[in-house]
Structure 1
Amino acid sequence: MKHFLLFICGVLLSSCAQEQRNLNFLEVALSSDNPKIKRVMDSVENYQVQIRYTQIDRRNDSVFFTDYDFQVNDSVYFYPASTVKFPTAVLALEKLNQIDSLTINTRYYIEGDTIESTFAKDVSKIFAVSDNLANNRLVEFLGFEAINESLNNKKISPVRLSHRLGYHSDDLRTKPLIIYLNDSTTGITNSLLNKTPKKLELLNIEKGVGYYEGEELIKEPFDFSLKNYYPIQSQHNLLKRVVFPQKYKASEQFDLSTEQREHLLTAMYTVPQKVGYDPTTYYDGYCKFFIYGDTKKDIPQHIEIYNKVGFAYGTLTDCAYIKDTEKNIDFLLTATILVNKDGIFNDDAYEYDEIGIPFLAQLGREIYQQEVNRNQH
C-alpha cells in the first residue's frame, strides 16, 4: 500500500510538472485582470493585436522552441514602422562581410549629404534610438530589391520593403555612397534602380475613416497598400536566426563575422544612455516596450532585451529576445497593437502612452513572471 501511494504521488507530481510545462503562458497573460491588459482584451477587435511568444527549452546542447500565437495572420496587415530597420541593419553587415575593402568601421557619407558616419555607428543608432537617417543610409547601401530578395532566400517571408523612413520618398533610385577606403582615397558605390512596388492585397490594408494630407482631412480610409510589409511571423523568424543561428542550415543563416555578430547583438540590447544619448529624453524603456516601456526607471544590468521596436500611424510593435542572466530565463516575444481611437491617420492623436505601450509593457511582465515561476519548478 505504501509503495502504491508513493507511486500515485509520483504520477501526480509528474503530471503537475507536465501541466506546468505545457501551460500556455500567452493565454494566461492575456486573461490577466491587470487593467493594462484587460481594457485591450475587453474590446480586442478595436486594437488589431497580433502576438507570438516562444518558449525556449534546452536539453544537453540542443535548443527547442514552442511557439504560441494570438491572432497571428500574415494576411492581416499592420504597418511595421521602424521594425524594418532590423533586417536592414543585419543585411548591411552581411554585405560588408562580402566586400574585402570594407569593415563596420569604414567611414562614409551619402552623395549630396553632409553627415559622415560609419556602418558600426549607424547600426548602433538604429537600435538605441531608432534613428531614421541611419536606417536610410543603409538602405542606400543595399537597395530594396536586395533586401527583399535576401530575406526571401533565407526563408524569411512574406516581406516587402518599399520605402525609406521619416519621409516616404517615391524615389526608386538609391543614392551613391562616398566611402573612405583609406586616408587618401575614396570609392563611390553605384546608384541602384528599384522596381516600382506593386499594391499589397491584404486584409485591413485600408484602415480608419479618414486621414490628413497636409491640412486637409480626407474622409476615406487610409491606404497602406504601397507601404512596407513585415508581418509578425517574418519578424520573429529573423530574430530567431540572429540569436540562435545554430538552429538553421547555413543557407538560412546570415553570413556575419564574429565581430559583426557581437556588434549587432550588443547594439540590440544597449540602452541609449550607454552610447551617449541624454537619458532624460532617451530613457532606457524608450525603445524597449516590453516590461519597461511604461516606466522611466533604468533597466537592471542582469536583464538584456535584444529587440527592435516600431511606432507610427498609431501602430506599436516590438520584436524581442528577453534574457535574465540572474534568474536564468529567456524567451522570444513579438507583438503589435493599433491605438487610433478616432480612426483618423496623420492627426498625431494616437493612444501610445495611454493604452498601447502600457499593454505591451504589462504583456512582457506577465510572460516574464511566468517564465520565472517555470524555472523555479
Structure 2
Amino acid sequence: MRNRLLVFLLIIPCLLTAQVRSDSMFERLLHSHTSPLLKHILQYPDSFRYQLIYTEINRDADNTPHFKNYYFNVDSNQYFNPASTVKLPIALLSLEKLHELQVQGLTPTTAMLTDSAFGGQVTVHKDSSAENGLPSIAHNIKEVFLISDNDAYNRLYEFVGQQRVNERMWQMGYKNTRIVRRFMPLTEEENRHSPQITFVQDGKMIYQQPAMASTLNFDYSKQIFIGQGYLDKDDHLVPRPMDFTRHNNFPLEDLQQVLQSVIFPESVPEAQRFHLTKDDYKFLYQYMSEYPSESRFPKYDTAEYFNSFTKFFFFKAGKQNIPPYIRVFNKTGWSYGFLTDATYIVDFKNKVEFMLTGTIYVNSDGILNDNKYEYEEVGYPFFKEVGEIIYQYELGRKRTYTPDLNGFRMNYSQ
C-alpha cells in the first residue's frame, strides 16, 4: 500500500505539469544569448507568465514551406489576456462572412452604416479617416492592423456577431478560444447583442443585416483570478485578485495557428482555413505589414503611431526604424500588463523567414487596471531581445533550398 501511495504521489505532479511544453533546443538558444534582463525574466516563469513559440520554416525544391514549432514554457492552461490579438480572427471572419452572404455588389469597400438600439451600441454613419468619409469592412480592417484601433474592431465584431464568431472558431478546431467582448465597458448581455447594419452603395441599400443576439452558452467553470488587487471603474482599489473568468480567451497555440493559416493557408488542414479569396489574402498581407507612415487613408501622426508601434519582436523598444528589406506580418495585443505578439518576419535581402509568437506579463505591483505596467522597462525589451536572438540564429542557419519570398512583396505606395 505504501509503495502504491508513493507511485500515486509521483504521478500527480507529472499530471499537473504535463501541459507545459518546452523544447531544449529553444531553451538553450535563449539562455546562451541572454542579457541580464532576459536572464532575470527567464528565471521567473511564474511571475512573468511568459510563453514562446518559434516556428522554423524550410522550403522544398518546389518552394513549399514546411514547419517545425519549438515551444518554451507554453501552457494552454495558463491564462493570459489576449487583448487585441483577438482582432486577427475577427478581421478574417468579417471577410469570410461577406463572401458567404453572396449579395451582389456587397464588397469589403461598400459603405457600412451601423445603428444602435440596445445598451452600449454606437451609431456610426461616417468615418472622417476614410477617403470617402464612410466606414467599411475594409477600412476597419486597415485600422485594426495599422494601429490596433478598438472602434474598428467593435464594428467588425458586431457585423460577424458573437455567436458566429465562436461557433466558427470552434468548428475550425479552436475549442478553447472564446471571444465574447467588445473593447468598451459593456455588460455580458450587451456584448451578446449586435445592432442593425446597413450596407449602401451610391445612396442605394445593398444589404441590411438585422439586429441579432447570441444565444450561446459558454463554459465558465474554470475560474481565473490574477493579481493582488485592481482599480474599479471609479478608480477605487479593490483588494482582491481580478476576475478574468468571463473575459476573452485565445491560447497561444491557437493564435500561432490562426496566423499560420492566414500567411500559409495551404499548410493547415482544410477545416482550419478561413474561406478567403486571393484578393483577400493580398489585402491582408498589405495591411498586416504596412507601417502607419505609409498609410494615406487613414493618415496618422507618426510621432504617436511610429512605424514599430505594433511590431514588438525586434523593434518596439526605442521606436527604431525598421530596415527596408524586412517586413513584419503580425498582430499584437496589450492590456492589463499582458503583451502578446504573433509575427511572421521576412528578410528579403538575406532570404530569411520565420514565425515568433509570444506573451509576457509585466505587473510587478500586482495591481491591475492602474496603467502602471512595465511595458517599456521589461515587456518591449523582452520581445526585442528574443526577436534578435532568433533572427541572428536564422541568419546563420543552413537551408537546403533558398526560399522565394516574392509572394510577400507588397506595393505600399498604392
Q: Distance in 1 between matches of 2:53 and 2:184?
A: 27
User: In the alignment, does 2:255 pair up with 1:200?
Assistant: no
| Matched position secondary structure for 1:85 | helix
Alignment correspondent of 2:163:
145
Whether 1:119 and 2:137 are equivalent positions in the alignment is: yes
TM-align CA RMSD: 1.9
- Name 2:301's counterpart in structure 1: 278
Distance 1:308 1:242 in 2: 12
CA apart distance, 1:120 = 1.1
Q: 2 CA distance for matches of 1:25 and 1:147?
A: 34
The question of whether the paired residues in 2 share the 8 Å contact of 1:108 and 1:178 is answered with: yes
C-alpha deviation, 1:231, in angstroms: 0.6
TM-score when scaled to structure 1?
0.89
Match of 2:86 in 1: 84
Give the CA deviation at 1:30. Answer: 4.2
* Residue 104 of structure 1: aligned partner: 108
Superposed, which structure 2 residues align to 1:33-52 within 5 Å? 33-52=34-53
| Alpha-carbon distance in structure 2 between the residues aligned to 1:73 and 1:23 | 16
Render the CA deviation track for 1:281-308: whole Å, top value 9, x for unaligned: 1111110000001022221221111100
Q: Distance in 2 between matches of 1:355 and 1:301?
A: 27
Q: How does 1:1-377 map to 2 (within 5 A)?
A: 24-25=25-26, 27-61=28-62, 62-98=64-100, 99-101=102-104, 102-112=106-116, 113-114=123-124, 115=126, 116-170=134-188, 171=190, 172-185=192-205, 187-195=207-215, 198=218, 200-202=220-222, 205-213=224-232, 214-275=234-295, 276-375=299-398
State how far apart, in whole Å, the 2-side matches of 1:357 and 1:137 are. Answer: 29
Contact 1:32 / 1:38 at 8 angstroms: preserved in 2? no
Per the TM alignment, residue 186 of structure 1 is displaced from its structure 2 partner at its CA by 5.2
Gaps (5+ residues) in structure 1? 1-21
Secondary structure (helix, strand or coil) at the match of 1:286 reads coil
The CA deviation at 1:194 is 1.4
Distance 1:189 1:365 in 2: 46
Q: Distance in 2 between matches of 1:218 and 1:74?
A: 28
More divergent stretch after superposition (219-228 vs 145-154): 145-154
Q: 1:145 to 1:183 in 2, by over 3 A?
A: same
Check the 8 A contact 1:52/1:72 in 2, yes or no. yes
Query: Aligned partners of 1:270, 1:366: CA distance in 2, in Å?
Result: 24
1:297-356 residue CA offsets vs partner (Å, 9 max, x unmatched): 221221111100000000000011111111111111110000111101111111011101
Residue identity matched to 1:341: S
> Structure 1 residues 310 and 193 mapped into 2: Cα distance closer, same or farther (>3 Å)?
same
Cα separation, 1, equivalents of 2:25 and 2:242: 36
Q: CA deviation at 1:141?
A: 0.5
Gaps of 5+ in 2: 1-22, 117-122, 127-133, 401-414
Query: What is the DSSP-based 3-state SS (H/G/I as helix, E as strand, rest coil) of the residue aligned with 1:308?
Result: strand
Instruction: Spell out, residue by residue over 1:22-72, the C-alpha distance to the aligned partner (whole angstroms, 9 max, x if none).
Output: 982453124433134123113332100011111111112232111111111
Percentage of identical aligned residues:
32
Question: Aligned-pair distance for 1:97?
Answer: 1.7
Q: Secondary structure at the match of 1:117?
A: coil
Displacement of 1:280 after TM fit?
0.8
Whole-angstrom distance in 2 between the partners of 1:202 and 1:322: 35
The aligned length equals 355
Q: Deviations 1:103-135 (Å, cap 9, x if unpaired)?
A: 111111210414341111111100110000000
